[in-house]
A and B are shown apart, each in its own frame.
Chain A
Amino acid sequence: MAENIKTARILKFDIFRYNPAEPDKPPYMQRFEIEEAPYMSLFLALNQIREEQDSSLQFDFVCRSAVCGSCGMMVNGRPALGCQTLTADLPEVIALHPLPTFALIGDLSVDTGRWFRGMVDRVNGWIERETEFDRASIEAPMDNETADKIYEADRCIECGCCVAGCAVANVRPDFLGATGLNRIARFMMDPRDQRSEQSWFEVVSDAEGVFGCIGMMACDDVCPKDLPLLEVYSYVRRKAVASLFSSGEDHPARREAEKA
């Protein structure tokens, strides 16, 4: 440890500064220098900068353990979580920008919430049933494999890194992005959801959905939670093609409902 301290680097942070509340002041990059500490994350570094050098610096953090999804930022041009990224892995000069594709709140802070709310509204990101939900009855069992798949998709923390790193989302504001497709896939897999393939088809298949993707695969690589976004993506694509050839009446939940 002593060795670490002796050879501590002086980190140079180039941080994007802009406050939409002061539109007269154009955006600029501001440099801050701090001494690197062992196991320092961007979360620690930014807090130190705000505490010691500039109290007006805006950035978001809540959980500091890659669960809340609020500290997504562009680190040297790549979307990443501030809390998860250690300065030891980065070069001496660290450039920080807010995530593109989202509304800017100020400096590094962006409004991902509005985007995600809009996305969930758009894909109807909830379980839809035609039959009335009966609170009193015992819940239908689900097999382990399906439950695991749904859980995997549900691990998304909605940090927005996949959207920010997506070339299509960067030029087309209405593109659903990997997280949107992941959300759809999660309900496609859920046997409790009774939507027909046809109704999914409308949401996923237009140019702002799965077929807007050009396959650069950045979403899969930048995802801080290592979600299987490529698998989700090819799953949704295959589903879309399958629905082209189906009558839309073959959803498992629908079949069950008809049997009952």
Chain B
Amino acid sequence: MNTNTTTTSLRAKSVPRGERPAAYVVDPAAARRQVWLELASGGTGLILALFMWGHMFLVGSILTGEAGFNWVAHMLEEYFIAQPTVAFILLAFIIHAITAGRKVPAQLKERKVMRDLGRDLNAFGKGFPGMARGDARFQPHLESILWIWQLRTGLIIIILGSFHLLLIGADVFRATMEGGLGIEAVRSMDRVGGGLWMVYAILLICVEFHASIGLYRLAIKWGFGARLGRHTLHRIEQVLLWLFLGLGVVVLAVLAGWLPAPLEFLLKG
């Protein structure tokens, strides 16, 4: 529960009409920087989220078997699509981590205040008579706790995502230098089946969650799709989340060798 009783620094002072109190005069250059930072964090977030969907379809080529997967990888590397993409995504990844991370509260005390508030708002209404009545005022507030999870998944992605990006980056650029395929079905399946599936399972869940919630929040923040309303936007976000998560689980299972490629007949026919 929140029992914060500290006084706020927004104190009334008598100020001549039309003037701003000295303490509140802000630096226009700093304000301008904030806009650029906000655009950078939102823009890179959008790019990364959309890339992840494309990425899912590319990796999903494993569903058509090793031949399909290798063909896609070969095309991307042969025509130098993969190499600049890896570099670009790595850059966007770093920029996003820095610019979006600036809103993470630095102190443990601050994070606790946020977490407690989020929990309280999320617990409110659960099992209350008012909730059963369907009153909007008595619905648990999910978004606050979602933000906290977005932060947590973001931190996990920084660690596991860096690992993945460097691994694949090394594969691709080594192949470019030395010839041969950087991304190859046999090697990927060997790695994933050999135990890396644990890393990729965690990364998959975190990325899909982080990306879909991020897109939803981005739409709300800038007023895209405002006509649809928050409820509908949330519904769309949920559908996309489960769709890509489900697809990802199947792709991961095929890569790990637990499932035969279900669409292999397409290439054999």
Contacts of A211 in B (CB 8 A): 34-35, 37-38
A80 at the interface (CB under 8 A from B): yes
Q: How far is the CA of A118 from the CA of B20 in the complex (A)?
A: 10
Q: A170-B2, A206-B26 are in contact. Are A234 and B34 (CB under 8 A)?
A: no
A residues in contact (CB < 8 Å) with B: 16, 18, 20, 27, 74-78, 80, 86, 88-91, 95, 97-98, 100-104, 113-115, 117-119, 121-122, 124, 126, 128, 164-165, 167, 170-171, 173-174, 198, 201-209, 211-218, 220-222, 230-231, 233-235, 237-238, 240-241, 244
Chain B residues at the A interface, C-beta cutoff of 8 Å: 1-13, 15, 17-18, 20-21, 24, 26-28, 30-32, 34-35, 37-39, 103, 105, 110, 113-114, 117-121, 123-125, 127-130, 133, 135-138, 141, 143-144, 147, 217, 220-223, 226, 230
Given A211-B34, A231-B226, also A74-B2 (CB < 8 A): yes
Contact (Cβ within 8 A) A124 B20: yes
Question: Is the CB–CB distance between A170 and B114 below 8 Å?
Answer: yes
Q: Identify which of B4, B35, B103, B119 contacts A170 (C-beta below 8 A).
A: B4
Q: Which residues of B contact A216 (CB under 8 A)?
A: 118, 143-144, 147
A173 and B9 alpha carbons, distance in the complex (Å): 6
CB neighbours of B129 from chain A (8 A): 88-91
A214 to B7, CA, bound (A): 23
Chain A proximity of B113: nearest CB distance (Å): 5
8 Å CB contact of A214 from B8, B119, B147: B147
Q: List 24 A-B contacts (CB under 8 A).
A: A74-B120, A75-B124, A77-B117, A77-B121, A78-B121, A89-B130, A89-B133, A97-B2, A100-B4, A102-B8, A103-B8, A121-B13, A122-B24, A124-B18, A165-B121, A167-B117, A206-B27, A207-B30, A207-B34, A215-B143, A216-B147, A217-B143, A234-B226, A244-B35
Given the complex, which residues of A lie within 8 Å of B114, measured CB to CB?
167, 170-171
- Given contacts A27-B3, A89-B133, A206 and B31 within 8 Å (CB-CB): yes
